[in-house]
Amino acid sequence: MRKIAVQINGRVVEGEVEPRLLLGDFIRDNAGLTGTHFGCEHGVCGACTVQLDGEPVRSCLMFAVQAHGRRIATVEGMAPSATELHPLQQAFHESHALQCGFCTPGILMTMEAFLRAEPDPSPERIRAALAGNLCRCTGYQNIVTGVRLAADRMK
C-alpha cells in the first residue's frame, strides 16, 4: 500500500492505495466523484477522460499512485457555481449534445482542453478532436454543434 495525495478539482484527496488501483477508481471510490465513468477500461471509449495537469488523459490507463502530487480535473470541477454551468456544459444542454450522458464527462474534459488550444475550430477539427470519445446515442452531430456554440460564446 502507498500513501498518496492528489489534488482533484482544487481539493487535496489523500488515500492509502494498492499500486494496481486505477486513477479512475481512485477518483470514483476514494474521492467520491462519480462523474468520471469507466466504459471499456482499455483506453478506447474515452468515457473516463480526465485532465492531468490540464491535459486530457485516460484515467483507466494510469495508476492512482502515478497521480501523487499532480493536479487532476474532472467534470465536477467545471461549473463555476451550483446554479451555473460551464459555457461548454450549457451549450451541450441547449444543443441536445447528450442523451444518456454516459460519455459526456469524458467528452467535456476533452473538449474543454481542445477549445483552450483551438478557440475557433472548424467542424472538421471538432470531429477530429472528438475521435477519441465514443458516443452511442447522439450520432455526434449535436456534439459538434454544441462545441461550436460554446466556442462562439467563449470568444
Interacting residues toward another protein by CB under 8 A: 2, 18-20, 22, 25, 41-43, 46, 49, 52, 55-58, 60-63, 65-66, 110, 114, 128-129, 131-132
**Can you give the length of the chain in residues?**
155
Residue nearer to another protein on the CB measure, 63 or 92: 63
Q: Helix 104-117 vs helix 87-95: angle between axes, to the nearest 10 degrees?
A: 120
Residue 107 CB, shortest distance to another protein, in Å, is 11
Residue type at 20 in one-letter notation: R
Task: Provide the minimum distance between the beta carbon of 83 and another protein in the complex, in angstroms, as a whole number.
Answer: 31
Residue 44 CB, nearest distance to another protein (Å)? 8
Q: Which is nearer to another protein, 81 or 124 (CB)?
A: 124
> Could you tell me what percentage of the chain is helix, strand and coil, using 3-state DSSP and rounding each to the nearest 5?
40, 20, 45
**Which residue lies nearer to another protein by CB, 50 or 98?**
50
**Cβ closest to another protein, residue 54 vs residue 80:** 54
Cβ of residue 48: shortest distance to another protein, in angstroms? 10
Q: Provide the strand spans (E) within 65-134.
A: 71-73
Residue recorded with cell 470531429: 127
Strands 55-58 and 49-52: what pairing?
A: antiparallel
